């Protein structure tokens, strides 16, 4: 699965809720766009964080440009199903005749996974879309649903291929399954924090992806505390000071030392979980720092993009999880 990360057609950002999937999707997207790729960030049922993150007044229910080389869309289930239905039926008229009758709509809402399948279909469609004789987007980044849901979503084309007789549904299912399982064209980018539960979930998610034969790319470890406290003192002397009872009880020095110790413990905990993750999943890691800011906007995205630049260039994607 060697070759550049941004040479893929689809990157799927997966991970536990709140670990920074949207942030990472945007930082990777902004970086690839800066390197000249035409990038689409496709979100599923997101709460329009793109507006704050990129400072643009759009609702993104349709593909909208965010900045040079960068587009975004917030896929809603109903709109995706409409697009997908039209794609399969090759006619808006037929689609309305079939899908927009109340009885059919009520039926569709009850079919498990159908809306998700439509969003996956729309994502796949954007990887194939042509404009002016070339692909409209070089790279699509799917800001996927949280862990509990992503395997269900990614498994759908396979379920359709295994259960539904050959027909209009199966063509796109076969094409999207062949994209999802081809490491030269598609990788899942697991995103996590270096903490107990997110790392455990990430290891399980990687296992689930492997069972489905879906290829994993690098793991992004987000919100890392700065590794070392630069005290200016040699490490041993500093350790000594942290342990010293008289220094701890000193009125001025005591609180500073306690804060320093807390900081060090926090960073050590991060290091422990980074190592644990690496041991369980021998995939390359991309590390992002905790940014301490009161507003998280496009300057934060670009700062994270800057942090990723050298790491992405140095990535060795020939490593694979066991």
Ligand X SMILES: Nc1ncnc2c1ncn2[C@@H]1O[C@H](COP(=O)(O)OP(=O)(O)O)[C@@H](O)[C@H]1O
Question: Which CB sits closer to ligand X, 81 or 142?
Answer: 142
Where along the sequence are the contacts to ligand X (CB under 6 A)? 17-23, 49, 222-223, 288, 290-291, 296, 304
Shortest Cβ 21–ligand X spacing (Å): 3
Q: Of all helices (H) and strands (E), which one includes residue 145?
A: none
**Is residue 23 a contact residue for Mg ion (CB under 5 A)?**
no
Taking the complex as a whole, how short is the minimal distance between the CB of residue 274 and ligand X, in angstroms? 15
Residue 22 or 80 having the CB closest to ligand X: 22
Shortest distance, CB of residue 290 to ligand X, whole angstroms?
Answer: 5
Asked if residue 147 binds Mg ion (CB under 5 A), the reply is no
Nearer to Mg ion, 22 or 270 (CB): 22
290 interface partner picked from Mg ion, ligand X, none, CB below 5 to 8 A per type? ligand X
Phi-psi region for residue 163, left (φ > 0), alpha (ψ -120 to 50) or beta?
A: alpha
User: To the nearest whole angstrom, how small is the minimum distance from the Cβ of residue 25 to ligand X?
Assistant: 8
- Between 22 and 147, name the residue whose CB sits nearer to Mg ion: 22
Q: From Mg ion, ligand X, none, which one binds at residue 287 (CB under 5 to 8 Å depending on kind)?
A: none
Contact, 53 vs 301, CB < 8 A? yes
Closest CA to 211 of 155, 276, 280, 147: 155
Residue number with CB closer to Mg ion (43 or 270) = 43
Q: Are 244 and 275 in contact (CB under 8 A)?
A: no
Find how far residue 18's CA is from the centre of its chain: 11
3 Rama class: left (phi>0) / alpha (psi -120 to 50) / beta? left
By the rule CB under 5 A, 22 interacts with Mg ion: yes
Length of the chain: 322
What secondary structure does DSSP assign to 62-110, as a single string? S-EEEETTEEEEEE-HHHHHHHHHHHHHS-HHHHHHHHTSHHHHHHHHT
128 SS3 class? helix
- Nearest distance, CB of residue 13 and ligand X, angstroms: 8
What does residue 191 show for φ and ψ, rounded to 5 degrees?
-120, 135
Nearer Cβ to Mg ion, position 41 or 315?
41
Smallest separation, CB 17 to ligand X (Å): 5
User: Nearest to Mg ion by Cβ — which residue?
Assistant: 22
User: Contact residues for Mg ion (CB under 5 A)?
Assistant: 21-22
């Amino acid at each position: 699965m060697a070759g550049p990360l941004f040479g893929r057609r689809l990157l799927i950002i997966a991970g536990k809720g709140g670990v920074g999937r949207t942030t990472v999707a945007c930082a990777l997207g902004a970086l690839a766009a800066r390197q000249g790729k035409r990038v689409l960030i496709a979100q599923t049922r997101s709460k329009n964080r793109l507006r704050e993150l990129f400072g643009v007044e759009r609702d993104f229910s349709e593909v909208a440009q965010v900045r040079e080389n960068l587009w975004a869309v917030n896929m809603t289930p109903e709109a995706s199903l409409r697009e997908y239905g039209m794609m399969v039926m090759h006619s808006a008229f037929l689609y309305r005749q079939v899908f927009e009758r109340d009885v059919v709509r009520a039926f569709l809402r009850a079919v498990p996974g159908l809306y998700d399948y439509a969003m996956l279909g729309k994502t796949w469609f954007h990887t194939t879309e042509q404009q002016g004789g070339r692909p409209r987007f070089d790279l699509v980044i799917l800001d996927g649903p949280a862990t509990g849901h992503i395997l269900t979503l990614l498994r759908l084309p396979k379920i359709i291929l295994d259960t539904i007789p050959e027909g209009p549904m199966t063509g796109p299912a076969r094409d999207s399954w062949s994209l999802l399982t081809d490491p030269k064209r598609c990788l899942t980018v697991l995103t996590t924090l270096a903490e107990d539960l997110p790392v455990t979930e990430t290891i399980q998610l990687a296992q689930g992806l492997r069972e489905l034969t879906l290829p994993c790319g690098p793991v992004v470890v987000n919100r890392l505390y700065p590794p070392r406290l630069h005290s200016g003192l040699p490490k041993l002397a500093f350790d000594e000071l942290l342990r010293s009872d008289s220094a701890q009880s000193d009125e001025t020095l005591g609180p500073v030392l306690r804060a320093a110790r807390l900081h060090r413990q926090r960073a050590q905990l991060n290091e422990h979980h980074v190592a644990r993750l690496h041991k369980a999943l021998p995939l390359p890691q991309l590390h992002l720092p905790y940014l301490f800011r009161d507003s998280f906007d496009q300057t934060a995205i670009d700062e994270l993009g800057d942090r990723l630049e050298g790491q992405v260039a140095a990535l060795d994607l020939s490593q694979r999880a066991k």
